[in-house]
């Protein structure tokens, strides 16, 4: 498949990230699953699947390295110990691997790993470096990958509404921004008084006494209107691109925003006697299950924090679906129109951003049944009985190109619609992750054991116009 130059640039970014972290991928491919602790995977990448995306492997390797560095900083592991890392560190790496594989946050918004607690997240930006017509210098032409903001004329020979002066005067002597001006194309106006060139350098129309000329080569204009102008004066014209010494310019930059990862932490405690009893009765160690349950609490809160941040930031629009069917309309037929409501919001956001239609939706469980009634909805198999806690993917609205996730903590009757692009710099929002899940050593006191779990990350909204809300009433 052919790539555009822009696609090649973004692809290069991802390929560079993979290359930069290749040594970390090799390092953390060597850690085997320990005999005790979290019983998941053979190495930290096994949980990602056999054909794991190299970018996801690079991200996971970076997060594992952050975890080990944090242990070193806290004097729990010295640099020379890396060849024989303690069991609790290996367990922690297994826990990070499992939580990274199961965490759905990066399917909702972009996830960019941070190598330090204070770092940067990145996105693309395109702006005008040279003004042209009504488009001033530094105007964003593509707003953070959320849509074209220019005009159809920025790269053409046409100049539309170039500022020429304020209102209230009669005589104006501006210079056109681009030359040479093509004869017979020049117009200067305040919206009421109109002056045109005659193709020979003379200005005609609503003119008074004075020079009233234009120099096509230099762009010098001298016009005296027949009366005082009542609004700002602008010029529109065409210039000869092939003979021009200057052209409109755009600046394409990879923008970065400074963010600081903020912590979330909790402690998990259990009775050692209960673990012994379970071991005697069933011959199995319950501690890995206990630790895994605690980790799910903190990762579920992280997901909730992310989607609530999206919901609170949404400016792309909102729609309401009334679940009560109108008189004489069968409920099933009415319920099937829910997808039309969702499509309306997609189009509202598309019109507002001039970019793409949103492709991710997070819903409250009490409107899940509505999705199941929509034509083209493909549900995930065995979601209700998978034994997992917290949010999960429940299906896809194939006709709308929307992946659907349900969060049991989401407000009743609500949903948020957002955009997650195929590249990590193309998204409505970014989560910068420093530590996905940090686990301290198990601390024992008497017959009580406990561990501390911590996650550190930052959320940045790139474009709130790419986020919209759905409300369902009369459930």
**Average of pLDDT values for 133-149?**
44
Kindly indicate the confidence band of residue 383, based on its pLDDT and cuts at 50, 70 and 90. Answer: low
Q: Chain-wide mean pLDDT for the chain?
A: 77
- Say if strands 187-189 and 233-238 run parallel, antiparallel, or are unpaired: antiparallel
Q: Which residue has the tokens 């609205």?
A: 397
The pLDDT value recorded for residue 327 is: 92
DSSP state of 151: -
Cis peptide before 158 (omega within 30 of 0): no
Q: Which residue has the higher pLDDT, 338 or 258?
A: 338
Q: By C-alpha distance, which of 187, 231, 232, 227 is closest to 206?
A: 227
Residue 33 has pLDDT above 50, yes or no: no
**Range with the poorest average pLDDT among 102-116, 141-155, 323-337:** 141-155
Q: Where are the domains of the chain?
A: 1-93, 103-121+259-473
Segment among 180-194, 329-343, 417-431 with least mean pLDDT: 417-431
Q: Can you give the pLDDT at residue 187?
A: 94
Instruction: Tell me what pLDDT residue 10 has.
Output: 47
- Which residue matches tokens 């390929």? 15
pLDDT at 272: 76
Residue 361, strand partner residues: 404, 417
Q: What average pLDDT does the segment 217-245 reach?
A: 90
Specify the DSSP element, H or E, that contains 13. Answer: helix 5-20
pTM: 0.65
339 and 397 Cβ atoms separated by less than 8 Å: yes
More confident residue, 159 or 270: 159
Q: Residue 129: its pLDDT value, please? A: 41
| 31 band by pLDDT with thresholds 50, 70 and 90 | low
Highest mean pLDDT among 65-69, 279-283, 313-317: 313-317
First-to-last alpha carbon distance for the chain, in angstroms, is: 46
pLDDT exceeds cutoff 90 at 232: yes
For residue 112, what pLDDT is reported?
A: 77
Query: Among 1-5, 126-130, 158-162, 356-360, which is the least confidently predicted range?
Result: 1-5
Topology classification of domain 103-121+259-473: phage-related protein like fold (3.90.1690)
Confidence (pLDDT) at 140: 44
Answer whether residue 358 shows pLDDT above 80. Answer: yes
CA atoms within 13 A on the CB side of 241: 9
């Amino acid at each position: 498949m052919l790539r555009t130059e822009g696609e090649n640039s973004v692809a290069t970014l991802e390929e560079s990230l993979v290359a930069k972290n290749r040594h970390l991928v090799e390092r953390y491919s060597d850690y085997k699953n320990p005999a005790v602790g979290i019983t998941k995977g053979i190495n930290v990448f096994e949980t990602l699947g056999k054909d794991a995306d190299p970018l996801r492997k690079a991200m996971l390797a970076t997060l594992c390295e952050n975890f080990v560095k944090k242990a070193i900083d806290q004097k729990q592991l010295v640099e020379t110990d890396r060849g024989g890392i303690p069991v609790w560190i290996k367990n922690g790496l297994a826990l990070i691997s499992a939580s990274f594989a199961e965490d759905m946050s990066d399917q909702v918004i972009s996830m960019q790993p941070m190598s330090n607690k204070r770092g940067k997240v990145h996105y693309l930006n395109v702006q005008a470096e040279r003004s042209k017509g009504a488009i001033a210098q530094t105007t964003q032409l593509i707003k953070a990958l959320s849509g074209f903001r220019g005009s159809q004329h920025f790269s053409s020979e046409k100049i539309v509404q170039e500022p020429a002066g304020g209102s209230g005067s009669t005589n104006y002597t501006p210079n056109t921004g681009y030359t040479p001006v093509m004869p017979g194309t020049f117009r200067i106006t305040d919206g009421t008084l109109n002056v045109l060139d005659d193709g020979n350098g003379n200005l005609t129309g609503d003119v008074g006494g004075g020079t009233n000329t234009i120099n096509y080569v230099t762009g010098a204009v001298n016009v005296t209107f027949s009366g005082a102008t009542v609004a700002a004066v602008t010029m529109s014209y065409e210039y000869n691109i092939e003979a021009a010494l200057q052209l409109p310019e755009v600046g394409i930059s990879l923008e970065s925003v400074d963010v600081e990862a903020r912590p979330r932490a909790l402690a998990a405690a259990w009775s050692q006697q209960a673990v012994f009893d379970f071991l005697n009765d069933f011959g199995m160690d319950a501690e890995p299950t206990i630790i895994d349950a605690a980790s799910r609490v903190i990762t579920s809160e992280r997901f909730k924090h992310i989607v609530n941040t999206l919901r609170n930031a949404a400016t792309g629009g909102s729609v309401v679906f009334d679940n009560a069917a109108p008189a004489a309309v069968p409920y099933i037929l009415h319920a099937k129109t829910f997808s039309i409501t969702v499509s309306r919001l997609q189009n509202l956001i598309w019109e507002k951003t001039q970019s793409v239609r949103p492709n991710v939706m997070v819903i409250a469980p009490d409107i899940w049944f509505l999705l199941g009634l929509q034509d083209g909805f493909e549900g995930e198999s065995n979601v209700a009985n998978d034994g997992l806690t917290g949010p999960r993917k429940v299906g896809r609205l194939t006709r709308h190109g929307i992946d659907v996730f349900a969060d049991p903590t989401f407000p009743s009757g609500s949903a948020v619609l957002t955009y997650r692009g195929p590249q990590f710099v193309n998204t409505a929002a970014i989560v910068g992750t420093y530590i996905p899940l940090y686990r301290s050593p198990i601390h024992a006191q008497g017959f009580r054991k406990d561990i501390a779990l911590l996650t550190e990350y930052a959320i940045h909204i790139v474009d709130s116009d790419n986020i919209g809300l759905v409300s369902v009433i009369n459930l």
